[in-house]
Amino acid sequence: MRNKLKLAGAIVVAGSLLAACSGTGKDDATKDNSKDLTYAVITHSSSGDAFWDRVKSGAEKAGKDYGVKVEYSSDPDPAKQSQLIDGAVADKVNGIVVSMANPDGLESSIKKAVAAGVPVVTINSGVDKFKAFGAITHIGQTETIAGEAVGERLKAAGLKNGICVIQEAGNIGLEERCKAVAATFGGKMTNLQVDGTDDSAVQATITSKLQADKNIDTVLTLGGQYAIDAVGSVEESGSKAKVATFDLSEDVIKDIQSDKILFAVDQQPYVQGFLGVTTLYLKDINGNDLGGGQPINSGPAFITKDNADAVLKFAANGTR
Per-residue pLDDT tens digits for 96-146: 999 999 999 999 999 999 999 999 999 998 899 999 999 999 999 999 999
**Domain shared by 247 and 104, yes or no:** no
Could you tell me if 154 and 227 lie in one domain? yes
Indicate whether 26 belongs to any domain: no
318 burial (CB, 10 Å; 0-12 / 13-18 / 19+) is middle
What pLDDT, on the 0 to 100 scale, is given for residue 19?
Answer: 40
- What's residue 14's pLDDT? 38
Share the mean pLDDT of the chain.
Answer: 89
The residue segments making up the domain with residue 193 are 143-266
Q: Same domain, yes or no, for 160 and 204?
A: yes
pLDDT tens string 139-166: 999 999 999 999 999 999 999 999 999 9
Cα(315)–Cα(169) distance, integer angstroms: 27
HEC readout, 193-253: ECCCCCHHHHHHHHHHHHHHCCCCCEEEECCHHHHHHHHHHHHHHCCCCEEEEECCCHHHH
> Cα angle vertex 122, ends 247, 101, to 5°?
60
Q: Is residue 101 part of a domain?
A: yes
Confidence of residue 16 (pLDDT cuts 50, 70, 90): very low
User: Looking at the structure, do residues 188 and 174 belong to the same domain, yes or no?
Assistant: yes
What is the number of structural domains in the chain? 2
Residue 188 has pLDDT above 50, yes or no: yes
Q: Are 273 and 249 within one domain?
A: no
Last residue of a domain, one of 244, 266, 288: 266
Domain membership flag for residue 90: yes
24: pLDDT strictly greater than 50: no
DSSP run (H or E) holding 24: none
Do residues 37 and 118 share a domain?
A: yes
Query: What are 245-304's pLDDT values in tens digits?
Result: 999 989 999 999 999 999 999 999 999 999 999 999 999 999 999 999 899 999 999 999
Instruction: Tell me what pLDDT residue 308 has.
Output: 95
DSSP lists the bridge partners of residue 123 as 99, 139
Residue type, 318: G
Evaluate whether residue 6 is within a structural domain: no
CATH number at residue 99: 3.40.50.2300
Same domain? For 159 and 133 the reply is no
Q: Is the pLDDT of residue 5 over 90?
A: no
Residue 204 lies in a domain: yes
One domain for residues 100 and 123: yes
- Give the separation between CA 20 and CA 259, rounded to whole angstroms: 60
| Residue 236 pLDDT level (bands cut at 50, 70, 90) | very high
Domain boundary among 221, 242, 266: 266
Dump pLDDT digits (tens) for 69-110. 999 999 999 999 999 999 999 999 999 999 999 999 999 999
Q: Which residues sit opposite 70 in a β-bridge?
A: 39
- Same domain assignment for residues 262 and 148: yes
User: Does the pLDDT of residue 15 top 60, yes or no?
Assistant: no
pLDDT of residue 315: 82
Any domain includes 13? no
- Within a domain: residue 306? no
- Residues 63 and 83 both lie in one domain: yes
Q: Coil, strand, or helix at residue 59?
A: helix
Same domain flag for 104 and 251: no
Residue 88 resides in a domain? yes
The domain boundary residue, chosen from 266, 291, 309: 266
Q: How confident is the model at residue 317 (pLDDT cuts 50, 70, 90)?
A: confident
Same domain assignment for residues 131 and 194: no
